[in-house]
Amino acid sequence: MAYERNRLQLYQQFLQLLLQLAQREEDEAQQLPDIPHPRRRRRPARRRVWCRTWLACRTFFGQYDHLLHELNREDPASYKNFLRVDADLFGEILDRVTPAIKKESTSFREPLEPGQKLAVTLRHLATGVNYADLMYSFRVARNSISLFVPEVCEAIISAYKEEVMPDNIPEEDWLRISAEFERVWNLPHACGALDGKHIRIKKPADFGSLFYNYKNFFSMVMMAVVDADYKFIWLSVGSYGSSSNGHIFNNSELRPMLEEGTLGLPAPSPLPHDDRDTSYFLIGDDAFPLRPWMMRPYSRRHLDHDERIFNYRLSRARRVVENAFGILAMRFQILLGTMQQVPETVDSIVLACTTLHNLLRIRQPVALRQYVDEEDNSHNLVPGQWRQGTEHADGEAGYQRNVANAAGTAQRNYLKEYLNSEAGAVEWQENMI
C-alpha cells in the first residue's frame, strides 16, 4: 500500500511539473515577436509559347499587311474611312511618329512595325472597338495594344502640337480668327467660343464619386475654345465629371491669362463703322463670367427686342463649339462610347483626337462639311448630321454661375446697341426672334 501511494504521488508531481513547463513555454512564446513561418518559394511557371502561332501570322493574314494595301489600291475612299486619314497623310504621320514608337530589334524577337502600331491606334480612335476585336483583326496581342496605344497617341501629340494647336498664339493670328468670325458669323471682335463636353469613362478605381456627373454616369470633362472654322485653339482635358463648367474655368490656366492679358488677344479697337474702342472677347454661356474678355447672352426671362437680337447674334456664333464637338465625335467614335482606359490614357486619347481633328481641318478643310450645322437662304438653322442618332452630353456638370462685373455688363450693353444699329445689324435678324 505504501508503495502504491508513493507511486501515485510521484505521478501527480510529474503531471504538475509538465503543466508548469507548458505554462512557462506559453508565457515565453507570448513575449517573443511574431516570426512568419518560412514558405517554400514557388518556381515561376515556364511560358509554353512566347507568341501564339496565329498571332505570328499577322504578315500573311492581318489587316495591316493585306486589307489596307487592297483598299489603298482599289478604294481610297474606304481606306480613308477605315483610318480617318488617306494613305498620303498616314505616311506623313508615320514618318513623324516613327522615331518615338520604334523599338530596337533583338536576337530574342522582332518588334512590331511602327506602321502596324499607328494603324491599330487610328482604327481604335476611329471606331472605339475594344482591344480584343483589334487583336483578332490585326493579329496583335491585346496586352501589346494596351501598351502602345497611349504611346502612339503621345507621339502624335508631340509631332503636331506646335503646328495645329500651339501654346502661344501671336496677335496676328487672333486678328485672323476674329476676322473669320466677322465674315462667317457676323460677330466682330469674337476670338473663339468656349464650352465643355463630357467624355464617358469606366469608373476609375480609388476616386470615389469625383468622376460621377449629374447625368448619372462617370465622365471627365474636356473644355475647349474653338475658332470660326471648328478648330480647337485651347483645350483642357481631365477635369472631374462632377465639376461644373464655371468651376473648371475658374481653376484653369485660361482665366488668369485672360485677366492678366497674357493670352495675346489684340488691344481694344473700334468695331466696324464705329469710333469707340471695344475689347476682343470669347463667347460663353451663363456658366462663365461676364467680363470685357468674355461675352455671354442675357439670361433674364422677359427680354426686350434688342436683348433678343443680341442673344441670337451671340448664340449663332457660339454654335461653332457645339459643331466642333460633334464633328470630333463623329470622326473619332471612341468618344461616343464609354472609354475603358484609365484616366491618364483617356487624356492622351482625347488630345490625340483633337490634334488629328485640327490637322484634318487644315489639310482637308472641305471634308465633313455636310455634318456641320448650316443655314438655308432665309438663315434658318439646318441641323448638321452630327446631331442625328447620338446624344452628345455637354460639359455642364452641376451648375455654378459666375457673376458679372460692371465693365463686362457695360460692354455687353454697348454690343447690344451696336448689333441693333445700322452699323452692326444684319438684314435677316428681325426674322429670327
Distance CA 306, CA 309 (A): 5
79 beta partners: none
Specify the 3-state DSSP secondary structure of 260.
helix
Nearest to 268 by CA among 258, 259, 279, 276: 279
Looking at per-residue pLDDT, the higher value among 53 and 12 belongs to 53
Q: Average pLDDT, stretch 257-279? A: 93
- 332 CA to centre of own chain: 11
Looking at per-residue pLDDT, the higher value among 256 and 23 belongs to 256
> Is the pLDDT confidence value at 334 over 80?
yes
Nearest to 131 by CA among 117, 119, 145: 145
Largest CA distance in the chain: 137
Name the grid cell of 392: 452628345
pLDDT digits (tens, 9 = 90+) for 67-110: 988 999 999 999 999 999 999 999 999 999 999 998 887 766 77
pLDDT digits (tens, 9 = 90+) for 189-231: 999 999 999 999 999 888 888 888 888 889 999 999 999 999 9
Per the listing, cell 503646328 goes with 163
Domain locations in the chain as residue ranges: 54-162, 165-432
Nearest to 187 by CA among 63, 278, 260: 278
Name the grid cell of 185: 458669323
Residue 188 and residue 279 in contact, taking contact as beta carbons nearer than 8 Å: no
